[in-house]
Amino acid sequence: MRTNSFTKKMSTKSNTELEQIFENKSDYTDEAVQAVIWELENRNLIEKTDISYLETQVNSEIAETSVPKEDLENNESPFEELVLPILYSKKAIQGFSILFSTIFGVVLLMSNLKAMNKPKARVEVLVFGIAYSIFTVILLNYLPKMFFITLLFNIIGYAVLTEYYWNRNLGKHLQHRKKEIWKPLIISISIIVLLVFLQFSPQILGV
């Protein structure tokens, strides 16, 4: 008998609800979609096949596609427990950590952990981010003023965030949809511009 953890739940859905999930299958977990397909086949709404949906996904990349629908951007769905979470990707954390600093990547990862309801892990990441940033600032005062050295510290910080904290708390192969980065990007650039202005304001203002 073909069953998985979603089989019982899908058996209670109406034909319309099942078809809605099937039509938007990229928004849902593979296991949930497989249960939908089995249920649709059992109701003779689609043709049965010997190849399971999960088997067709083995060699495909982990789903990280954006869905330009307002309700999905807000993680709202009539089937919320089945929907792939909307998270900042590892690439986004990499970009913010390396281009700005590790603490910016920390903020993105903390947002992901909040979305996944992992408060303890959020605190751990925050403590790491603050401690690592302080350590980096202190150490850089004793090292040559080179961009490469700062970049190296940012890369190390990014690696810890993704290879340790992400993999341990969210899973190395977590399926998710990609969250837009425009808002944090604008905020980050604004912060950097403000810091640069404050640093050079005496020269600019002739004080």
Q: So where are the chain's domains?
A: 7-82, 86-205
pLDDT of residue 84: 81
Structure confidence by residue, pLDDT tens digits, 60-73: 444 433 334 444 44
Structure confidence by residue, pLDDT tens digits, 75-106: 444 455 557 889 999 999 999 999 999 999 99
pLDDT of residue 152: 93
Q: What is the mean pLDDT of each run of 10 residues along the chain (207 residues)?
A: 75 82 77 81 75 50 40 47 81 93 95 93 96 93 85 94 94 88 93 84 65
Secondary structure letter of residue 185 according to DSSP = H
* SS3 at position 178: strand
Transcribe 39-100 into DSSP letters.
Answer: HHHHTTSS---SS-HHHHTTTSPPP------HHHHTT--TTGGGBPPEE--HHHHHHHHHHT
- Is the pTM higher than 0.75? no
pLDDT of residue 30: 79
pLDDT of residue 42: 82
